[in-house]
Structures are given as structure tokens and as C-alpha cells.
Amino acid sequence: MYRPTSFRRPFVRSPMRTAPHHTCTCTCPHTHTCTTDRGIVSTERYASKSKLLAVPNDVFVLDFDGVLADSQFEVSSAGLEAAGARWPHLDLASPKCRERVAKGLARTRPRLVKGYETMVMARLICEDEDNIDRILHDGWENFILPQKMEIWQETEDSLIQFFEELRNRRASQDPDAWVSLTQLYPGVAEALTDCSVPWYICSSKRGDRLATLLQALLGLNVDQSSSRLFHTLIPPTERKIKALCEIQQRPLCQDPQTTLHFVDDRFETIQAAALEEIVRSRYKLYLADWGYNTAEERKAASQLPGVKLLSLKQFCELLRFQLVMGVNDGCQDTETEALAAVYRPFKPK
């Protein structure tokens, strides 16, 4: 039922955290973030409503990069540094060239699958900016990437090792600086704190990095081995579909009255989920339009069965209220009407 915003009880955000050595059954009165097999859920607002937490009406499965956080600067800066070190003949030492290539990497991010690919993209963009459109439209993963690797006499394993060693070194030498390269999208932290139902993370990011960022950015003390984290899902399309199928079989999600929501920014993953009957029949699917996708992909996603295009504002509303408040079904008050209903002085007849 629609309730004007001012009718809702005010909530002061506190950091989400887990209580050390505490096994929560979602019925305790403590203020913390529950990380039992019921998913991650803030219990502060609804600690006394154990039934709501035990049998939730909704469960969220969320991607991390491109949905909760923007990691573009971290991966692109690592790619630039690695490309300059691997191929010294490139002009990547020039600030002007680095800026030009960094802008190109931001545009080609929707095609990125494995981190080391930013090295290859950086070299191609440095050599010819027309490669940006080629990367986006001419079959990056199956054609351009393997072709260039063969021409350059490089192997995937050697580039992965080179890139990951550099990335690990950056993270270990200055952990705070490394964390600062990834930023939560505006409003996400507050919306997750307000979220009263369980949520899982389903990400291609490596587990130790994901756990570190969840701790640093959200105050979540969740180990990478947690059953609430699905990480290192490479290739993302196949592995995420498998993770979604596993999650929907968990006791928390088996009740047909429980609505499952999956939010991702990668078009190929959402497309695969929409075409997989076992997933589409149980999940509401959303493409995050603020993430790493193109205008053409957003248009295509809006035409897929069971897929909704979601804005960042709508995403935060969905986490808070399990519905999108901005959708007008003809029955809801306008904002002006809602405010007038709340603040209009009572005048007895």
C-alpha cells in the first residue's frame, strides 16, 4: 500500500556490521547485519519482527561492479600501468596520452570480462582511437582479442599473471589508496542500510577483493567463504546463471510467495537470464542503466521478456521498499498531493 514518505518512521543510518562470534538466527534484538544462511540483512529496523525476517517477501541478488560500486578507475588505472610496463614503446608515460586512453577505456568497459583485457584495450586505444568502436561493435571477445594476442605473440595466461601481480602489488603496498579507487554509487550505502530483506552478492570479482571492499565501503564483516557471496564468477554469464539457480533452491527462497530480484549491469548476463526459463520464472530481472552498458544494450534489454530497465534512483527505492515508488499506476498520490495530505492543517466542519 502506498504511504507518503513523511508517514514513514524516520531512520538514522548506522554502519552495517556483524557481531563477532555471534551466530544470529534473525530473531535477536541486536543491532547488526545478519550474515547467516538467510542472506545479508540489516536487522536494526526490524529486530522485533522475526517473522518478517524468517519468511521474507523479497530476496535480492546483486552484482557488485556496475551496480553497487564503480570500479572503473581501479581497473583502468591498473590496465594503463600494466600496458605501459609490458609494452614500453607505447606513449603511455605522456599525461595527455594517458588521459585519452583512460577516456577510451571508460567507453569500452561494457566489453570487459577479465581484468587483464584492459591492458589489451589500452594498447589498442593508444595505437588508434578508432579501435574504441571496433572493440564495442566488432566482436571483442571472440575475434579482436584473440587475433591481437596472436599478432603480438602474447598468451592469455602470461598477461593474466602480469596484470594480477601488478594489481596485487598496488593493493598490498597501499590498501587504503587501492580501496579509494572504488566508490559506491550515490545513495547505495543508505539504501542497503535501510533494506529490511536478505540480499546476496553475485560478482565476477575475486573473493578476497570483494570481501575487502564490502568491509571498507559498507562496514560488512563478511568472509569470502560466506555462503552469501558468490564471487570469481568467470565467465560471468554461465557462472551467474548457475549461482541464480543455486540461490533459488535455498530454503529462504523456495517459498513461491517470496519474490526474487536479480540486478546486474551486464547485458549479456541479463539476456541469458531472461532466456533461461528456470531463472525467468522465479526472478524479476533488472538491467542497471547506470552501470557498464551501452545505449543500444539498454534499448535491447527493455524489449526482453521479464526484464526491467532500472535507474539508480529506482534501484535505491527498490532496496528500501521492495517496489519502485516512482511508477505511477494511476492510484498513487502525486508528490504535491502527498505533502498536502500530510501538512494540511485540520479544519473541523
170 and 247 co-located in one domain: no
Summarize the confidence of residues 254-279 as an average pLDDT: 95
The pLDDT value recorded for residue 175 is: 96
Q: Name the pairing type of β-strands 41-42 and 33-34.
A: antiparallel
Residues in the chain: 349
The pLDDT value recorded for residue 343 is: 52
Residue 34 has pLDDT above 90, yes or no: no
Where among 162, 180, 198 does a domain terminate? 180
What pTM did the predictor assign? 0.80
Of 38-47, 134-143, 339-348, give the range with the top mean pLDDT: 134-143
CA distance 130 to 132: 5
In a domain, 161, yes or no: yes
Residue 20 has pLDDT above 50, yes or no: no
79 and 106 co-located in one domain: yes
In a domain, 333, yes or no: no
Question: pLDDT tens digit string along 41-56?
Answer: 554 443 334 444 456 8
CA distance 137 to 149: 18
210 and 320 co-located in one domain: yes
Residue 229 has pLDDT above 80, yes or no: yes
31 and 84 co-located in one domain: no
Domain count, the chain: 2
Question: pLDDT tens digit string along 77-133?
Answer: 999 999 999 999 999 989 999 999 999 999 999 999 999 999 999 999 999 999 999
Q: Name the pairing type of β-strands 33-34 and 199-202.
A: unpaired
| 3-state secondary structure at position 199 | strand
CA distance 49 to 26: 9
Where among 140, 164, 180 does a domain terminate? 180
Contact assessment for residue 164 and residue 130, using Cβ atoms and an 8 Å cutoff: no
Q: Name the pairing type of β-strands 307-310 and 259-264.
A: unpaired
Where among 148, 180, 212 does a domain terminate? 180
176 and 147 co-located in one domain: yes
The pLDDT value recorded for residue 183 is: 97
253 and 171 co-located in one domain: no
The pLDDT value recorded for residue 21 is: 36
In a domain, 195, yes or no: yes
In a domain, 11, yes or no: yes
233 and 172 co-located in one domain: no
Boundaries of domain holding 58: 5-69+187-324
